[in-house]
Structure 1
């Protein structure tokens, strides 16, 4: 693959994130530094980087695809309130693929596991929004 300055910019920008941004977020951040970059260029490079295994494309989240600079196996948590996607630094269940294989007539090549709930920031905001004596419904 030939070197591309814009591809390197896209990858560097993604690596600055811990929150699994969308292509639109990456584009808006890069646009401020490089007015010549287009949204199509960002999408094309994210797609290529994903296909090359340099980043992960996360399609399990509702809405736009998100991108993860960490390609090693790991799990995610998605906040049901704000949509934030967080990495979970927990042990990956290596035996889960083999266990699933017993139920598949084809071949299991891996798995993605997503936990859902309310993140700490949204939980704190909910608590602040409740008046004393008021209960959450």
Structure 2
């Protein structure tokens, strides 16, 4: 694959995030650095980087796809209030794949596990609203 300055910029921008940005967030940030970049260019490069295995596209989140620069298997937590996606640095349950294979007519190549709940930041906001009543 040939080098592309814009593809490198998209990848670098994703790697700057600890959260999991959407294409619109990446586009807005890159637009500040390079006003000539288009949303179509960002989408095209996100798709290509995802297809190449350089990043992970997270489609399990409600709404827009999010992108993750950590490609090794790991789990996520999604806040049901603000929609932020967090990595969970726990060991991946590899035995889950072989156990699940007993119930399906095929071979499993991996799994995604998403925990849902309320993040501390949203919980604190909720707590401060309750105390103001």
Aligned position for 2:113: 113
Is there any run of 5+ residues in structure 2 with no aligned partner, and where? none
Asked whether 1:10 is paired with 2:37, we answer: no
Higher helix share: 2
Q: Structure 1: which 5+ runs fail to align? A: none
- In structure 1, the residue matched to 2:42 is 42
- Looking at structure 2, the residues matched to 27 and 95 of structure 1 have their Cα atoms a distance apart, in angstroms, of 39
Runs of 4+ in 1 over 3 A off after TM superposition: none
TM alignment of 1:1-137, pairs within 5 A: 1-131=1-131
How many equivalent pairs are there? Answer: 133
RMSD: 0.9
Question: When the two structures are superposed, what TM-score results if normalisation uses the length of structure 1?
Answer: 0.95
Looking at structure 2, the residues matched to 52 and 88 of structure 1 have their Cα atoms a distance apart, in angstroms, of 24
**What is the TM-score of this pair, normalised by structure 2?**
0.98
* 2:98 aligned counterpart, secondary structure: helix
